[in-house]
Chains A and B, each alone.
Chain A
Amino acid sequence: KNEVEQSPQNLTAQEGEFITINCSYSVGISALHWLQQHPGGGIVSLFMLSSGKKKHGRLIATINIQEKHSSLHITASHPRDSAVYICAVREGGATNKLIFGTGTLLAVQP
């Protein structure tokens, strides 16, 4: 069993829909990251959070440390949101290495 599980693996939505991507993890962490990878490969960081909720534009990330679960929400989805969304958890310790989920492929259709 992977230490970081994402669901769904694939998601197709219509423009304007509210989207939720889930991430569950089984290890102790110091923080959780959400990343976005567009076609063509570039990976950018969206959020880093260790508790509660963060919002940036139409994106909202939440984390429940007790339940070892995080969600990424996209409100009013747009075709330009189409990408792979990756959850990664940061281990504690000196190196703070990341453990990655396998990603959720989102396609938003106009």
Chain B
Amino acid sequence: DAGITQSPRYKITETGRQVTLMCHQTWSHSYMFWYRQDLGHGLRLIYYSAAADITDKGEVPDGYVVSRSKTENFPLTLESATRSQTSVYFCASRGQGLGFYEQYFGPGTRLTVT
């Protein structure tokens, strides 16, 4: 399907486990972003990527790892999940250059760490 997809949509895991959230987009957008959404906070940027093999930290990167070996995929890994990482995670993408500033969001992954 065209667009931006995330998997899984819901995940429950235990403290200390490694979890990987997947994000896939079919537009060949250069930029991809991972956000978390928590009550009382706006969407906060975890990591972003300007292109394959180029990633950089956002506002709240601690405890997360990203990679981008292919333009269309941008997985987010929680190396050792903690309860504070219980959140809704959104992936987004956008094109590069003038006029390509609108970000397109995936449907979100609701992660619960017990």
Chain A positions near chain B (C-beta within 8 angstroms)? 2, 4, 31, 33, 41-45, 48, 86, 88, 90, 94-103
Contact = CB atoms under 8 A, between A and B. Distances in A.
Contacts of B105: 42-44
Contacts, number: 47
A98 B108 contact: no
Contacts of A98: 43, 45, 103
Contacts of A4: 42
A101 B41 CA distance: 8
B34 interface: no
Nearest to A97: B45
Contacts of A99: 42
Nearest to B108: A41
A contact patch SS: strand
11 contacts: A4-B42, A42-B105, A42-B107, A43-B105, A43-B108, A45-B103, A95-B31, A95-B56, A98-B103, A101-B42, A103-B42
B22 interface: no
A103 B6 CA distance: 23
A95 B42 contact: no
